[in-house]
Amino acid sequence: MAPLDDKPVLDVRGPGGHPLDIPRLACGAMDDLKSYAAHPKHQEDCGFPGELIDNWQEVAIAKIGELADKNRAFQVYLDACVKCGACTDKCHFFLGTGDPKNMPVARQDLLRSVYRRYYTFAGKHFPWLVGARDLTREVLDEWYNYYHQCSQCRRCSVFCPYGIDTAEISMAAREIMDTVGKGQKYCNEIIAKVKVTGNNLGLNPKALGATLEGLEEDIEDETGVSVRIPLDEKGADILLITPSADFFAEPHIEGLLGYAKVFHEAGVSWTLSSYASEAANFGMFIGSYENMREISLRIRKAAAIDLGVKRIVFGECGHAWRVAYSFLNTLAGPFDFLDQNYPIPQHILEFTHNELEKGTLNIDKSRNDEFRMTYHDSCNVARGSRMGDKPGGQFEIPRAVLRAVCNHYFDMDRDTIKESTVCCGGGGGLLTDELMDLRIKGSSPRMKALQQVTEDHGVTHMAAICAICKTQFSKVMPKFGYEMDSILSVHQLVSNAIILTGQETDEDTAPIEGAATAGAE
Amino acid sequence: MSTLYAVLFYLATILLVVGTGLKIRKYAITPAPLKIPTTPAPTTRSGVFWRMAREVTVFESLFKSNKWIWLFGYMFHAALLLVLLRHFRYFTFNVWWWVELIQPFGKYAGFAMVIGLGGLWARRILVERIRYISSPSDHLMLALLIGIGASGLSMKFLSPVDIIAVKVFFLGLLRFQINELPNQINLLVHLALVATLMIIFPISKLLHGPGIFFSPTRNQVDDPREKRHLAPWAAELEK
Ligand code: SF4
Ligand code: SF4
């Protein structure tokens, strides 16, 4: 590497090449990519004006000031950036699109330039000197486009010398936009739904119950053992909160079957809740403390009042785990009514890992021999949470579980995993069809890292513990030469490998169905 | 001229101290509503202390990020520190022993400082990504610092100044007396630029200095499950 240039590659957006190759700038490449605007009804359900209000400019500027008073990160990060450029090549969306406004610092500057104009001495008196600008309609539209091209993955914050987290800025920007009536359809529609039905899909309790019964039958057909997936059972010990995708989409469902089998073998009593049938909390994506809190309180109510459980366990979901691990105690605590001998909340992988260590699970690894696995660290788990007692447990525990249930496991390039993991390209409220172009481009660093291990080690499948990652990968993997079912749930592999107590195994032990069936969203 | 510089330095000092003080106060009183350390993060206070210590002494994150920016940036900051410490000799009547000790290094650190800044500036101009994110103020800041370094070096190595007189001037300022400042151009330029830097410190990106200590992604303990964290305004929502 020459000291003065990082040798940008002309066009790295196609397949092949190093996952982290830096593209040349492609100014304006993603200027026109706009996600759909929220319906006025959904805006109002989230507590925001239905449409862009008349005095939006005034209100937005005041909101910047309000956030700077309420959130230290926002205030410090707006001030502290020195434009060193260290983060410029760290965003998968920049790597995939070459659009300079997708460089983390440039993304921050979209808002920082306005903050400077109205809130700093230099920006008020010498705007041209410090790149300050008025908040115009064009600027607002630019915010809308580019703050919805950030998956809030926090990769940039790992590499910034001051820990500046662009996710914080983009959450704040979305909150400011929501406040003036410029919300995004995908996020706000989902938040509106969860407030009414308890989950992002709008599944009602009856439909949910029927689905779960169907799944119980599937397990019984397959294994001959009756494994329960209880719903709304008062007095159960454990409340499982899992992303609603686990109820209906592949490969998510296979993960749910895995949790059920683990709980069954561990001999604990557990239940799902129809009232809080969603782990995801999109309140985080729009930076709305109030919405995030309201959704979190549903979990508290389900646990404390409806069901009276002793423990809360979360299923496989990335940002949900961040909200659960890092924020739940703040938003909906204190949880003094739960059993204090267990982490509150606990991740399903922490639970399974414990059971594996205790030896309660009868595992036949060879049942996963058809898979050569790698593991995708989901951003929010990797950089916004933890598992176990030690820092980094969020990397070690999933790998330990995978190694315990599979014979063939290989890590991807070190610079693309663990705390440096590259996002799937669909997180942070971007998992919507109109952003597909961005999603494919943004996934390219991850896909190239996967291609490397496919070449070097013959890796065929990738496991993940996030509902968004799984859905995103099943959509984008075909663009990179993989089948859509090359993405698996970690608990799907656990499910495959578990031999249930009383399960017939002398006959042909064909790998459990579903592991290889096609995934539909 | 001496009076002008005396006034300038009093003013600059007041603006620096008050301005930065107010900013630090703002950072300190603004709550962090949520636990957002960039994980893996330390699980104890002392762990956070070490994380922060590594950030400010060896620029750990920057090192992970980009070796060239780290090299030039580190060179500049380390040299600046030495040079600043060396300057204590102009503000204390008896030169402290450790200031004496670093004197020989401090003298040459000025070169490292200018080279580091030059490297950063070259990257700012030549690397298209960094050029894209630069404002005029980013270039001017580098020009200012290089100007300070170069004028300082010129006094040491090109046309020496009567440093005893300079010392008398600054010791005088500390006692609210105005003594004669040598009327030499490189000294006057040096001092004017330094005063400028002091004045713009609290209103510029130089706030990264105090800012890093208040960065929640770096200074928070990773213990949200064990300890409930609640901002005062968020506690209001629970009433
Ligand atoms: S790494 Fe941090 S300080 Fe440097 S340009 Fe990026 S956000 Fe700014
Ligand atoms: S948070 Fe992730 S998506 Fe957003 S700017 Fe940073 S690296 Fe890019």
Q: What percent of chain A has pLDDT over 90?
A: 89
Q: Do A73 and B217 touch (CB under 8 A)?
A: yes
The CATH number that applies at residue B29 is 1.20.950.20
CB distance A107 to ligand 2 below 6 Å: yes
Residues A131 and A198 reside in one and the same domain: no
CA trace torsion B180, B185, B190, B192 (10° rounding): 70
Number of structural domains found in chain B? 1
Phi/psi for B169 (5° steps) reads -60, -50
B188 pLDDT higher than 90: yes
The nearest CA of chain B is from the CA of A378 a distance in Å of 12
Tokens, residue A45: 């359900």
Q: What is the mean pLDDT of chain A?
A: 93
Q: Which two tokens stand for residue B47?
A: 């762990």
Residue A383 and residue A258 share a domain: yes
Domain range holding B167? Answer: 2-238
Looking at the domain assignment, is residue A383 inside a domain? yes
Asked whether the beta carbons of residue B68 and residue A3 sit closer than 8 angstroms, the reply is: yes
Q: Determine the Cα–Cα distance for residues A216 and A221; give it in Å rounded to an integer.
A: 9
User: What pLDDT score was predicted for residue A328?
Assistant: 97
Task: Kindly tell me if the per-residue pLDDT of A2 is higher than 70.
Answer: no
Residue of minimum CA distance from atom 8 in ligand 1 = A81
Residue B104 has pLDDT above 50, yes or no: yes
Token pair in block for residue B128: 């298209």
Interchain CB contact of A103 with B (< 8 Å)? yes
Q: Are residues A448 and A380 both part of a single domain?
A: yes
pLDDT for A514 equals 44
Q: What is the mean pLDDT of residues B204-214?
A: 95
Quote the tokens at residue A340. Answer: 């204090």
Residue A157 lies in a domain: yes
Where does the pLDDT of residue A435 fall: very low under 50, low under 70, confident under 90, or very high at 90 and above?
very high
Cis check: omega of the bond before A445, within 30 degrees of 0: no
* CA angle (A381 as vertex; A336, B63 as ends), nearest 5: 120
Over residues B116-167, the pLDDT tens digits come to 999 999 999 999 999 999 999 999 999 999 999 999 999 989 999 999 999 9
Asked if A165 contacts A109 with a C-beta cutoff of 8 angstroms, the reply is no
Contacts of B64 in chain A (CB under 8 A): 158-159
Ligand 2 contact via A351 beta carbon (within 6 Å): no
DSSP letter at A240? E
Contacts with A73 from chain B: Cβ below 8 Å: 32, 36, 215-217
pLDDT for residue A20? 94
CA distance A475 to A436: 9
Which comes out higher in pLDDT, residue A514 or A7? A7
Start-to-end CA distance of chain B, whole Å, equals 62
C-beta of residue A127 within 8 angstroms of C-beta of residue A418? no
- For chain A, the straight-line distance linking the first and the last C-alpha, in angstroms and rounded, comes to 43
Give the span between the Cα atoms of A373 and A399, in whole angstroms: 10
Closest C-alpha to A515, from A247, A217, A253, A317: A253
Task: Specify whether A227 is located in the same domain as A296.
Answer: yes
Q: Are B217 and A163 in contact (CB under 8 A)?
A: yes
pLDDT: which is higher, A248 or B76? B76
CA distance B162 to B145: 23
Q: Which has the closest alpha carbon to A157: A104, A107, A112? A: A104
pLDDT for residue A304: 84
Q: What is the mean pLDDT of residues A285-290?
A: 97
Q: How confident is the model at residue A14 (pLDDT cuts 50, 70, 90)?
A: low
Model confidence at B239, in pLDDT bands (50, 70, 90)?
confident
- Answer yes or no: do A288 and A148 share one domain: no
The 10s digit of each residue's pLDDT in A128-154 is 999 999 999 999 999 999 999 999 999
Residue A7 in domain: no
pLDDT at A297 (0 to 100): 95
Does one domain contain both A140 and A246? no
DSSP assignment string, A459-500: --EEEES-HHHHHHHHHHGGGGT--GGGEEEHHHHHHHHB--
pLDDT tens-digit series, residues B5-61:
999 999 999 999 999 999 999 999 999 999 999 999 999 999 999 999 999 999 999
Using 50, 70 and 90 to split pLDDT, how confident is the model at A3?
Answer: low
Q: What is the pLDDT of residue A291?
A: 96
Whether residue A292 is contained in a domain is answered as yes
**Rounded Cα gap, residues A212 and A235, in angstroms:** 19
User: Is the Cβ pair B132, A71 closer than 8 Å?
Assistant: no
Helix (H, G, I), strand (E, B) or coil at A346: strand
In the structure encoding, which two tokens stand for residue B163, read together?
Answer: 């440093």
Q: Give domain status of residue A518, yes or no.
A: no
What integer pLDDT is reported at residue A513 of this predicted model? 46
Query: What integer pLDDT is reported at residue A415 of this predicted model?
Result: 96
Which residue from A6, A76, A392 is facing B215, i.e. has the nearest CB? A76
Are A66 and A100 contained in the same domain?
Answer: yes
> What pLDDT, on a 0 to 100 scale, did the predictor assign at position A509?
47
Domain that includes residue A295, residue range: 192-497
Mean pLDDT of chain B: 95
Q: Determine, for residues B134 and A83 on separate chains, whether the beta-carbon distance falls below 8 Å.
A: yes
The pLDDT tens digits of the residues spanning A308-326 come to 999 999 999 999 999 999 9
**Average pLDDT of A81-97?**
97
If phi > 0 it is left, if psi is from -120 to 50 it is alpha, else beta; for residue A16 that is left
Taking CB atoms and an 8 Å cutoff, what residues of chain B touch A160?
A: 61, 65
Determine the Cα–Cα distance for residues B166 and B188; give it in Å rounded to an integer: 11
Confidence class for position A199, pLDDT limits 50, 70, 90: confident
A155 shares contact with chain B (CB less than 8 Å):
no
Hey, which residues 327-346 in chain A have their CB within 8 Å of chain B?
327, 329-330, 333-334, 343-345
Q: Which of A152, A379, A419, A422 to mutate to test the pocket of ligand 2 (most atoms within 8 A of CB)?
A: A152
Reduce the DSSP state of residue A35 to 3 states and report it: coil
Is the same domain home to A75 and A116? Answer: yes
The answer to whether residue A221 sits within a structural domain is: yes
Statement to judge: residues A118 and A200 lie in one domain: no
pLDDT of residue A7 exceeding 70, the answer is no
- The region, left, alpha or beta by phi > 0 then psi within -120 to 50, assigned to residue A300 is alpha
Give the one of A121, A330, A382 whose C-beta lies nearest to B228's C-beta.
A330
Query: What is the domain-level CATH number for residue A105?
Result: 1.10.1060
pLDDT, residue A520, reads: 38
Q: Taking Cα atoms as reference points, which of A132, A126, A97 lies closest to residue A112?
A: A132
Final residue belonging to a domain, choices A155, A182, A209? A182
User: Helix, strand, or coil here: A153?
Assistant: coil
Q: CA-based angle A187:A150:A32, to the nearest 5?
A: 85
Can you list the alpha helix ranges (DSSP code H) found in A269-413? 289-301, 318-322, 328-332, 348-358, 379-384, 393-405
- pLDDT score at A518: 41
Closest approach atom of ligand 1 to CA A86: 1
Average pLDDT over residues A356-373: 96
* Total number of domains constituting chain A: 2
Q: What is the distance in A from the centroid of ligand 2 to the CA of A152? A: 5
pLDDT (tens digit per residue) in A38-74:
999 999 999 999 999 999 999 999 999 999 999 999 9
Per CB-CB distance under 8 Å, the chain B contacts of A130 are 135-137
Alpha-carbon distance B163 to B157, whole Å?
13
A249-265 per-position pLDDT tens digit: 989 999 999 999 999 99
Quick check: is A381 in a domain? yes
Residues of A in contact with B130 (CB under 8 A): 83-85, 88
Backbone angles phi, psi at A74, to 5 degrees: -60, -50
CB-based contact A519:A255 (threshold 8 Å): no
Burial (CB < 10 A; 0-12, 13-18, 19+), residue A358, is exposed
Report chain A residues whose CB lies below 8 A from the CB of B203: 120-122
Ligand 1 mean position, distance from CA B124 (Å): 13
Q: What is the mean pLDDT of residues B227-234?
A: 96
| Closest CA relative to residue A493, chosen from A382, A387, A367 | A367
Q: Kindly determine whether residue B61 and residue A90, on different chains, have CB atoms separated by under 8 Å.
A: no
Number of residues assigned to chain B: 239
Edge-first strand listing for the sheet containing A487-489 = A373-375, A461-464, A487-489
Cα angle B93, B96, B101 (rounded to 5 degrees) comes to 135
> Is there a contact between A318 and A281 (Cβ–Cβ < 8 Å)?
no
Query: Ligand 2 within 6 A of A153 CB?
Result: yes
3-state secondary structure chain B: CHHHHHHHHHHHHHHHHHHHHHHHHHHHHCCCCCCCCCCCCCCCHHHHHHHHHHHHHHCHHHHHHCHHHHHHHHHHHHHHHHHHHHHHHHCCCCCCHHHHHHHHHHHHHHHHHHHHHHHHHHHHHHCHHHHHHCCHHHHHHHHHHHHHHHHHHHHHHCCCCCHHHHHHHHHHHHCCCCCCCCCCHHHHHHHHHHHHHHHHHHHCHHHHHHHHHHCHHHHCCCCCCCCCCCCHHHHHHCC
pLDDT value of position A197: 84
Same domain assignment for residues A103 and A248: no
pLDDT in tens, A444-460: 999 999 999 999 999 99
A73 vs B134: CB contact, 8 Å cut-off?
no
Pairwise CB contact (< 8 Å): B211 & A154: no
Cβ contact B218–A162 (<8 Å): yes
If residue A314 lies in a helix (H) or strand (E), which one and from where to where?
Answer: strand A311-314
The rounded distance, in Å, linking the Cα atoms of B74 and A81 is: 17
Output DSSP code: residue A305. I
| Residues A106 and A213 reside in one and the same domain | no
pLDDT higher than 90, residue A166? yes
